[in-house]
Each structure stands twice: as structure tokens, then as C-alpha cells.
Amino acid sequence: MKRISVVIPMYNGEAFIGQCVRSVTCQTYRNLEIIVVDDGSTDNGAAVCEELMGTDERIRLCRQENGGVSAARNHGIEVSTGEYVFFLDSDDAIHPRLLEEMLGQAEANHAQLVFCVYRKLDSSRMETVLAGTAERPGKGASHEGQTGWLTADEAGTEEWFHVKYTDILSGIGGKLILREAIGNLRFDTELKNGEDTFFLYQLVRGQVRSAYCPEEWYYYRMHGESVTNSAGTAKGMRYFESARRIRDGEYDSGHADHAMRWEILVADQIRRNYGAQKSGGADKARRELRRIAAAERRHPMFRRICFSDRVLFVCCFACYPVYVVLNKIVLFLTNRRSR
């Protein structure tokens, strides 16, 4: 029986860690080790874990000085002993059948990467959904157990990452990965945002087979402190550095189509962040963004994006009032075409 190591990084997760861990202990697949990595928390999250450890010997609590989520995940990988590693965030939860289904697909299809759809829930809905799955663990969250798994070979997995399932594959939560495929790969602790996207990109470049389930069996909690729900992220360049690295990797490999998709994201994040800084940012931040924008315009991929996007980009930094007007016109025309 293959073992799955569930890695849960935690920083001040007292409010949700109990529910998160219990969603793992109630999995229909039992051969698990549950590794909670406390990243220098200052609340009582560790005490909650210690209490749970008294009820389930599969739970392990590891402590480290605060080093960030990447360092915590790396620690979890290092101490894990399972043939597979599953990543779960401390404020999220999973369907009771998820790990059993994932392992079955991994083994049957020789898939090194297995993933499913996220279901975004606020805390009250999370309680309701988890209560429902506990009562009916054999049923799916959205399609009543009709899982409909899809598989992809190595080339197909790269297409999934860059084109078809980019949003799902931008986050590490809910990914089951063969430990052998991870090898010496680790999360880059220098990246403050998008580190999980870049980790998965490096994994996919290593040529892996994958399996995907359209069931919403990974429960992503939306709350004020979640990364994608924070004002800082909305105004910041969340995927800028990782997207830039991926673009350059694909460009250097001669994969212009894939590089273009990431180039569009890079240029868009620079432009949007400059707009946010104009609304109240510091002069230093605006100067740095102007420097980044100037360098971006010299990149060979920038010249390949569509003319209207290039015009918007240049106007954003050359004459911001004109950019605001043009951007509104473009958004209006885009919305009309999409109706």
C-alpha cells in the first residue's frame, strides 16, 4: 500500500487548521502521514495540532523559524516518507474521497501529477459542504460522484499547464505528486509570489504524465487574509516574477506560443500595478515600475503582442491620462464583443 505524505504549511492558522487536518484524517484512504509545518506562528495553531496528534498518530508537527511558505513546504518535502506528496494549505480542506481517487488514478495511469478543480467557499459554506461530504462520503461535491477523469502524456501535460488548465495549475494546493518526480526540485524561497506556479512549471518541464478530475473536491477558503483575496495582491504583481521566468524559459526553448501567453500576463501586471501606484503609491515604487517597463519593452516577445496592448502599455507610462481613456474604450469594446 503506497503512502501519501500530506504537507500542510501553517502560519498563524489557529482559526482553520483543525478543520483542515480533520478533512485529511477522515479520508477514505488511510495510509497517510500528515505533516503540519509550523512556520514560526505566534498564535495557538500548534496547540490545536498537538491536541489532534493525541487522537491520530499519523499527524506530525514540525516547527521552524519563520521563513515563508516556500521554506515550510520544502521542509515538509524533506521530512516526508511517502511515495506521493500531497500539498494542502492550512485554511483549505478536501473531500473525503479525494486522496483515494487521486492515488488510484496515479497508479492506474502512471501519472506523476494528479489534480482536481478548486471549489471556492467562504467559511460558512465550507462548514456546510464539509458536513455534507461527511454524511455522504461516496458522493462528489458537484457532480454526484461522476468523476470523469482525464489523462495526459508528457506533451499534453505541458499544454495543460500553458493553455488549458493554467488557472488550476497556478497553485500547488490540491496537487498529488510522485515523490520520485519531485527529486531535488524545491520551492524557490526568493520568490515572494507565484512560487507554486514556478515550482509546477519546473515539474512539468521535467516531462511528467498527469491526471485531472473535473470534480470540485479541493475546497479553497475565501476570507480576508487569504492570498488571492487581499488588497495587496489585487494591487500587486502577484505572478510577475514567476511569469517572467516562465516566459524566458519558454522563449529560450523556442516555444514562442507558450512564451506569448506568459508575456501577455507579464505586461498586463506591470501596467495594472502602475495604475494602482498612480492612485496612491510611493514615488519610489512608480520609478521602479517605470524602469521595469522600459526593460520589458526591449524584450523580443513584447514586440509580438497585439498592437492595441502595446499602445496601452506605452501610453500607461508616457501619458497616463490618455492611457485611462484608451483603456476604458478598449474594455468597452471588448465587453460588447463578448456579449
**The CATH number of domain 4-229, selected from 3.20.10.10, 3.30.420.40, 1.20.1050.10, 3.90.550.10:** 3.90.550.10
pLDDT at 138: 53
CA distance to 239, 243, 244, 253, 269, per residue, from 256 (Å): 19, 14, 14, 8, 20
pTM score, two decimals? 0.90
Helix 256-278 crosses helix 320-338 at what angle (to 10 degrees)? 120
- Mean pLDDT, residues 320-330: 91
Given a cut of 80, whether residue 229 has pLDDT beyond it is: no
Q: What is the pLDDT of residue 228?
A: 40
Look at phi and psi of residue 28 and say left if phi exceeds 0, alpha if psi is from -120 to 50, else beta.
alpha
pLDDT at residue 197 is higher than 90? yes
Q: How far apart are CA 171 and CA 143, in angstroms?
A: 23
- Using CA atoms, how far residue 317 sits from 98, 269, 289, 310, in Å, is 47, 13, 9, 11
Task: Give the per-residue pLDDT at 168.
Answer: 95
When pLDDT is averaged across residues 155-177 and rounded to a whole number, the result is 96
Q: Which of 107-111, 127-131, 145-149, 308-312 has the lowest mean pLDDT?
A: 145-149
Per-residue pLDDT band for 222 (boundaries 50, 70, 90) equals very high
Beta carbons within 10 angstroms of residue 26's beta carbon:
15
Mean pLDDT of 303-308: 92
pLDDT value of residue 226: 53
Cα separation, 33 vs 51, whole angstroms: 16
Question: What share of the chain in percent tops pLDDT 90?
Answer: 79
pLDDT at 145: 46
Distance CA 294, CA 137 (A): 54
Return the domain boundaries, the chain. Answer: 4-229, 232-338
Average model confidence (pLDDT) across the chain? 90
Who wins on pLDDT, 85 or 285?
A: 85
CA distances from 39 to 26, 59, 96 (A): 25, 16, 26
207: left (phi over 0), alpha (psi -120 to 50) or beta: left
